[in-house]
Amino acid sequence: MTDFPAFLDQLWLARFVILSGLGATVSISLLAIAAGSALGVLVGLALAYGKGPLRLAVRAYTDIIRGTPVLVLVLASYYVSAAVGINLGPFSAGVLALAVFCSSHVGEIVRGGLQAIPIGQTEAAKAIGLTSGQTFAHVLWPQALRQFLPAWVNTAAEMVKASTLLSVIGVAELLLRTQEIISRNFMSLQFYFFAGLLYFVVNFAIERFGKYVERKTAVPT
């Protein structure tokens, strides 16, 4: 208990450093989730409806990316891009790696949601004169969204946790900032616990957002 006032003092002194790291973590996560989800929808559509070489190529993409550790993707994005003359910088390279990883998982989630819809839904839509585009937009996609939304929330939370790996390429996100603070005051237990609490808050916000979207897209009873 005697250390708690000292921790509060150190926390106040480090408040701007922590806020900077938290802001970086939130920015990285949101960018990776947004870009990965957008690409993942395209991947899912290709897996569900693609033909021949396109489907095979996208399947190979998802299998390779899903089977590769996130840390390897982060290091490859940073060092390989620099080796070929593309200077992305640590932040952009990290976001790119997370977005690619996210897209492979979202693609499988979208594919599963679309293929879980009974074929009779499509046949019924055609029977009442809906075009393929109208069938997808008004019949298939809303049902698929309700099915895969919980899995998407889990993937989004994983991206927040995966953002800690960007510290290895020098991105000053929350974990790296926390380690910098600990190197000065040696309060490792207290500050790691506090950082974990902040990660929980971010993921809790994502979970509540997912619940909100679920309520908005739910079928009225």
> What CATH number did the domain enclosing 117 receive?
1.10.3720.10
For residue 63, the model assigns a pLDDT of: 96
10 Å CB burial of residue 60 (0-12, 13-18, 19+) is exposed
- 19 vs 38: CA distance, rounded Å: 28
pLDDT of residue 2 exceeding 60: no
- The pLDDT confidence band at residue 119, using thresholds 50, 70 and 90, is confident
Q: Is 131 helix (H, G, I), strand (E, B) or coil?
A: coil
Task: Give residue 35's domain range.
Answer: 3-217
Q: Are 167 and 176 in contact (CB under 8 A)?
A: yes
Q: Tokens for 85?
A: 């003359």
Q: Are 180 and 17 in contact (CB under 8 A)?
A: yes
Q: Compare 123 and 173 and report the one with higher pLDDT.
A: 173
If DSSP states are collapsed to H, E and C, what string results for 25-36? HHHHHHHHHHHH
- Cα angle: 200, vertex 160, 110; to 5 degrees: 115
Q: Is 18 helix (H, G, I), strand (E, B) or coil?
A: helix
- Which range has the worst mean pLDDT, 16-20, 164-168, 215-219? 215-219
pLDDT of residue 150 exceeding 80: yes
pLDDT of residue 39 exceeding 90: yes
- Cα angle: 99, vertex 104, 105; to 5 degrees: 100
For residue 47, the model assigns a pLDDT of: 95
Q: Compare 178 and 81 and report the one with higher pLDDT.
A: 178
Q: What would the pLDDT profile of 41-59 be if each residue is shown by its tens digit?
A: 999 999 999 998 999 999 9
Q: What would the pLDDT profile of 56-107 be if each residue is shown by its tens digit?
A: 999 999 999 999 999 999 999 999 988 888 888 999 999 999 999 999 999 9
Q: Tokens for 23?
A: 């802001």
- 206 vs 221: CA distance, rounded Å: 26
Number of domains the chain is built from: 1
Q: Are 37 and 152 in contact (CB under 8 A)?
A: yes
pTM of the model: 0.91
